[in-house]
Amino acid sequence: MEQTKQMAIYPAIGIRPIIDGRLGGIRESLEDTTMQMAKSVAKLYMDNLRYPDGSKVRVVIADSTIGGVKESDACRRKFELENVGLSLSVTPCWCYGSETMDMHPTWPKAIWGFNGTERPGAVYLAATLAAHNQFGLPAFGIYGHDVQDLGDEHIPEDVKGKLLTFAKAGLAVAIMRGQSYLAIGSVCMGIAGSMVDPRLMQQYFGLRTEYVDSSEVLRRIEKRIYDEAEFERARNWVKQHCQEGEDYNREEKKFSREQKDKDWDFVIKMTMIIRDLMQGNPHLKSIGFGEESGGHNAIVSGFQGQRQWTDFLPNGDFAEAMLNSSFDWNGIRAPFVVATENDSLNGLSMLLGNLLTHTAQIFADVRTYWSPESVERVTGWKPEGNAGGGFIHLINSGSATLDGTGRQSIEGNPVMKPFWEISEAEKNDCLKATTWYPANTDYFRGGGYSSKFVTRGGMAVTMCRLNLVAGLGPVLQIAEGETVSLPDEVHKILDDRTDKTWPTTWFAPRVGSKGPFKDVYSVMAAWGANHGAISYGHIGHELIALAALLRIPVNMHNVPADRIMRPSVWSSFGSNLEGADFRACQAFGPLYKTS
């Protein structure tokens, strides 16, 4: 049952054991070794990789080793029946390239050719990659740095790393395919990222675009199209766990206590409704709303908010922040991906980070570069440690996940965990570190509540952003770095200068190289839009592999060369790797190219 449910929802990783087809000695001598390679990788994947719901990945191995075209196609048929979404071919020996290769047009592909010399797996790898390159079906090539003995079942560490990077990126491609981006509302304050482009969604990501007017949220509130029992439960939970902050609004712009209480009810309902719009809710059918119970199959959404909605009604901050977190009144659960200001390009950036890590994502304005000189001038404190070169103030009302408080830990260090690793105590610490301030009514005339927290410093993070450029298409930028912890009084002076009721993350990208990573100022100057998506961990290499699979060039990154992995054909586009990336992406075009 569990298997069947998973098969319907999540694509499996297919493993293709490739063999030298010559019977009468060679093939027979290699059968066990070849199948064993497939089994070892399957174990590696099942031990290390999970689906977004926390279940172990499903790995499907071809029924037999593949020595020629007939077995190759039998494998394809099996994989299609089993909902395989990406393929890894493994071999310890020489086999026949084009006869055994995976020809599927959209499955991400890789080949692991065993680096041994008794039988030449790496020679097959090179020959078959040449065929992939010649046929326009890019594949990653993986082979170990050190020679192994034939029959050695151990997977070397360097090979493990590459096998996992490929599978994470490939699964991200396969999992999002066929789902939707749901735009609730339309363009927010002239932000081009909220001019949702269905062609980009479809051709590059395999996503549909769904659009609903924001009035649908209001209709569902007024007509009570939500689970009323859940609402009561949520209301009690919010009273207990969401502390309301002081009202900093000018006297004449403060809302009455009665209005504020009504707003709490309203924003809780908004949260449930946006979730139900994204993924449906069987309860709605039981109260007579069968159509609404289906939802929009959305793996990511955006809420316009400003200005029409927020000039009139409570803002989306509570709903967005709670949905993006790994917990709510239903307990600890997978985060949703919801973009503030319907910035679909930031929503997609968050989706990439989320699919690679299964962790919650921070959405933020890339607000201010604080040079060390400015910090010293304003506060008297000379920045040091990871703040020494200055830092960037990341802050936005709305979608910053509460996981972004940094109150989950590994060995005392701040982290953001996949939901299945988060403890009750960590969940409570995230909630305690968050204050819900009555929204700034100069900006948000309709009120609401904005989450406020300060991210703990010293957390490894990666900020990324997808930009859409005329004449070029989508490009991705990536900055790995760390969150910064400022002395309390310094934080207060800097934070109080701006929207102090919004969540703050102080970010120091890793710099000191050249171009946009010369220094922190240059990173900020090169950022392609007003927003960034911040993921836990240093996942730049995984984003690069994923971008290559989607044929999206990376226009700036600070990922060390030894972590980077792209399909083999990229090297045919020149040895300047950044230029080669642009040329390769242009030559192949989007993964789901139509016309």
Per CB under 6 A, residues contacting ligand CVU are 191, 306, 341, 365, 396-397, 443, 530
Closer to ligand CVU by Cβ: residue 71 or 365: 365
Is 531 flagged in the annotation as binding?
yes
Nearer to Mn ion (CB atom), residue 97 or residue 316: 316
Of the candidate spans 94-102, 136-144, 389-397, 408-416, the one that interacts with Mn ion by CB under 5 A turns out to be: 389-397
Asked whether the beta carbons of 559 and 395 are under 8 A apart, the reply is no
Which C-beta is closer to ligand CVU: that of 89 or that of 306?
Answer: 306
Asked if 482 interacts with Mn ion (CB under 5 A), we say no
Question: Whose CB is nearest to ligand CVU?
Answer: 443
User: For the chain, first and last CA: distance in Å?
Assistant: 40
How many residues form the binding site for Mn ion (CB under 5 A)?
A: 2
Q: Which stretch binds Mn ion (CB under 5 A): 77-85, 368-376, 392-400, 439-447?
A: 392-400
Could you tell me the smallest distance in angstroms from the CB atom of residue 508 to ligand CVU?
22
Asked if 396 is part of the footprint of Mn ion (rule: CB under 5 A), the reply reads yes
Q: 261 catalytic, yes or no? A: no
Exposed e or buried b for every residue in 310-343, given b needs 16+ CB within 10 A?
beebbbbbbbbbbbbbbbbbeebebbbbbbbbbb
Which of 20, 71, 328, 341 is the catalytic position? Answer: 341
User: Which of the residues 276, 292, 343, 365 is marked catalytic?
Assistant: 365
CB 216 within 8 A of CB 183: no
Starting at the edge strand that comes first in sequence, how are the strands of the sheet with 338-340 ordered?
A: 208-212, 180-184, 298-303, 338-340
CB of 529 to ligand CVU, least distance (A): 9
- Alpha-carbon distance of 448 to 247, in angstroms, equals 11
Q: How far apart are CA 303 and CA 307, in angstroms?
A: 11
Is the distance from CB of 101 to CB of 132 less than 8 angstroms? yes
Residue nearer to ligand CVU on the CB measure, 115 or 396: 396
Measured from the CB atom, is 354 or 440 closer to ligand CVU? 440
Which residues, listed in sequence order, are joined to residue 13 by a DSSP beta bridge?
59, 86
- Residue from 56, 67, 91, 63 nearest 79 by CA: 63
317: contact with Mn ion by CB under 5 A? no
Give burial (CB, 10 Å; 0-12/13-18/19+) of 157: exposed
Q: From the list ligand CVU, Mn ion, none, pick the one residue 201 interacts with, judged by a Cβ distance below 5 to 8 Å according to partner type.
A: none
Distance, in Å, from the CA atom of 300 to the CA atom of 38, rounded to the nearest integer, reads 34
Crossing angle of the two packed helices 540-550 and 577-588, in degrees rounded to 10: 30
d(CA 12, CA 445): 48
**249 SS3 class:** coil
Q: Which does 306 bind (CB under 5 to 8 A by kind): Mn ion, ligand CVU, none?
A: ligand CVU
Q: Could you tell me which residues come within 8 angstroms of residue 178 by beta carbon, excluding any fewer than 6 positions away?
A: 206, 207, 208, 297
To 10 degrees, what angle do helices 317-324 and 257-279 make?
Answer: 50
Tokens of 425: 């105590």
Q: Is 365 in the site for Mn ion (CB under 5 A)?
A: yes
501 binds, among ligand CVU, Mn ion, none (CB under 5 to 8 A by kind): none
Work out how close the CB of 479 gets to ligand CVU at its nearest, in angstroms, rounded to a whole number.
18
* 92/448 with CB nearer ligand CVU: 448
Q: How far is the CB of 223 from Mn ion (least distance, A)?
A: 31
Q: Give the closest residue to 326 by CA, choosing from 274, 403, 242, 408.
A: 403
Helices (H), 394-534: 424-432, 488-496, 520-526
Residue placing its CB nearer to ligand CVU in the complex, 192 or 577: 192
Which pair of structure tokens corresponds to residue 167? 């599978």
Gap between the Cα atoms of 512 and 518, Å rounded: 5
- Name which of 417, 366, 414, 302 is nearest 521 in CA terms: 366
3-state DSSP helix/strand/coil % of the chain, to nearest 5: 40, 20, 40
Q: What are phi and psi of 289, to 5 degrees?
A: -120, 70
Residue 443 binding partner per list ligand CVU, Mn ion, none, with a CB distance cut-off of 5 to 8 Å that depends on partner kind:
ligand CVU
407, 529, 534, 419: which is closest to 475 by C-alpha?
529
The answer to whether the peptide bond before residue 307 is cis (omega within 30 degrees of 0) is yes
Closer residue to Mn ion, CB minimum distance, 399 or 522 = 399
Q: Give catalytic status of residue 426 as yes or no.
A: no
Shortest distance in whole angstroms from residue 348 CB to ligand CVU: 16
341 is in an annotated binding site: yes
Q: Which stretch binds Mn ion (CB under 5 A): 138-146, 312-320, 388-396, 435-443?
A: 388-396
Considering CB distances under 5 to 8 angstroms, the limit depending on partner class, which of Mn ion, ligand CVU, none binds residue 434?
none
Provide, rounded to whole angstroms, the least separation between the CB of residue 370 and ligand CVU. Answer: 17
- Kindly state the smallest distance separating residue 398's Cβ from Mn ion, in Å: 7
Q: How near is the Cβ of 339 to Mn ion at its closest, in Å?
A: 10
Q: Given the complex with ligand CVU, which of 60 and 184 has the nearer CB atom?
A: 184
317 belongs to an annotated ligand binding site: no
Residue 327 φ then ψ, to 5°: -165, 155
Instruction: Give me the least distance between CB of 188 and Mn ion, in Å please.
Output: 8
Helices (H), 94-156: 97-100, 121-135
- Applying CB under 5 A, the residues found at the interface with Mn ion are 365, 396
Task: Show which residues are catalytic.
Answer: 341, 365
Which amino acids are annotated as binding site for Mn(2+), given as ranges? 341, 365, 531
Which amino acids are annotated as binding site, given as ranges? 341, 365, 531
